[in-house]
Amino acid sequence: MGTRLKIAVPTDYVLTRDGCSYGYFLLAPNLWEPRTRTFTRVLDLAGGAATVRIVQDGDAKARRGAPLTAVADRALARPERTEAKRQIARMLSLDEDAATIAAFHRADPRFRRSGRGRVMRSPTLFEDVIKTVTSCNVTWPSTVNMNRRLCEVAGRASASGLHAFPSARRLARMRPAALRARCSVGYRDQRIVDLARLFVSGEVDPAWLEDPATPDDAVHDAMLELPGIGPYAAANIMQLLGRYSRLPLDTESLRHARTLLGYAGPDRAVMKKLHAHYEPFGAHKFRSYWFELWAFYEGKRGPAWTWERETMAKTFTASQF
DNA sequence: GGTAGACCTGGACGC
DNA sequence: GCGTCCAGGTCTACC
């Protein structure tokens, strides 16, 4: 008999909206099932991997703010329950309370009506860093493949036969050539192993990076020191840390700028205009940028919570719309 | 400080 | 089925 957890959420929380708010919800080991509005995910816990199925209580009209129920495929010891709740809270941004989201809406009222404000992420910073590396310099289908293979090859299996995201300890022990051959990560092989070793050795300290008292600039500088992390990846990891004052601009941003915002000119000039466009949103600028982009995707493909992982694995970037 | 080229994979396309 | 081209961010060497 698996353990059942009841998880309180902020008063304005809606799983379909706040859980399906960033591309990582479509990457292994995450699985969102639109028909049942269930978020399935394998967590790596002290006693082994455990698959949890998460739903929000209440009917369609009464889900807002209703607690989550997470059911594991095995019995969890008390410390594992605490850890599972902590990981789920990070992944679903449950630490962002209604007042925090309201502050974003004061800065950018365009999203007050939809209530958008929370960005989904991973249960651990390590997974967010590796997922970011697997999203650099590739098209979306390759990112999907890399994450699926990483889980299958190096992630611990749960009783359900699903695999967790590999731990830093596990990836730190892998040979780069094996990672390349079995997970299709290409030239990222050495960088992924090096990153894992930095987490294992403690040279990368998630507690310090996640501490609100640590200045943004210090976190950003530390990210840029990491192998495989350049300006885009550093800014992206910043937002995954809940630090929204930087913009991870890439070719997708340029497309957005030209097609939706109507900007013209060479890349450098368009990038400059993009920075100026989001500057008024200050500490919230990433969310203004992201939900603008996300609204475009949803306009083309319907609400994100209706997206099927396998379909979106082949068509996700705007270039393919 | 700016820039060119290499790094890999997988999809699209032409033959 | 094969070969070629292209997209994508980071890193290094060079000016």
**Does residue A293 reach within 7 angstroms of strand C, measured from its CB?**
no
**Does residue A138 reach within 7 angstroms of strand C, measured from its CB?**
yes
**CA atom of A106 to C1′ atom of C15, Å:** 48
Nucleotide lying nearest to A184, CA to C1' measure: B9
Strand ranges (DSSP E) for chain A? 4-7, 31-33, 38-45, 48-56, 68-72
Q: Which residue minimizes Cα–C1' distance to B6?
A: A187
Report the candidate in A239, A297, A252 with the shortest Cα–Cα distance to residue A26. Answer: A297
**CA atom of A146 to C1′ atom of C3, Å:** 25
Q: Which residue minimizes Cα–C1' distance to C8?
A: A137
Q: A57 in the Ramachandran plot: left (φ > 0), alpha (ψ -120 to 50) or beta?
A: beta
DSSP A47: T
User: Residue A251: what pLDDT?
Assistant: 95
Residues 159-178 of chain A sitting with CB below 7 angstroms of strand C: none
Residue A240 CA to chain centroid, in angstroms? 7
User: Residue A317: what pLDDT?
Assistant: 57
Write down the pTM of the prediction.
0.97
Nucleotide lying nearest to A228, CA to C1' measure: C10
Contact A117, A105 (CB under 8 A): yes
**CA atom of A130 to C1′ atom of C5, Å:** 29
Q: Which residues contact A183 (CB under 8 A, 6 or more apart)?
A: A146, A149, A150, A153, A154
Nucleotides of B under 7 A from a protein CB: 3, 7-11
**CA atom of A151 to C1′ atom of B8, Å:** 20
**CA atom of A36 to C1′ atom of C12, Å:** 49
**CA atom of A12 to C1′ atom of C5, Å:** 49
Nucleotide lying nearest to A235, CA to C1' measure: C9
List CB-based contacts (under 7 A) with strand B: A 137-139, 141-142, 145, 180, 184-187, 268, 314
Q: What does the pLDDT profile of chain A (321 residues) look like in tens digits?
A: 799 999 999 999 999 999 999 999 999 999 999 999 999 999 999 999 999 999 999 887 789 999 999 999 999 999 999 999 999 999 999 999 999 999 999 999 999 999 999 999 999 999 999 999 999 999 999 999 999 999 999 999 999 999 999 999 999 999 999 999 999 999 999 999 999 999 999 999 999 999 999 999 999 999 999 999 999 999 999 999 999 999 999 999 999 999 999 999 989 999 999 999 999 999 999 999 999 999 999 999 999 999 988 888 776 654 554
Please state, in angstroms and rounded to a whole number, the distance separating the CA atoms of residues A116 and A292. Answer: 10
Q: How far is CA A170 from CA A22, A79, A110, A135, in A?
A: 26, 22, 43, 21
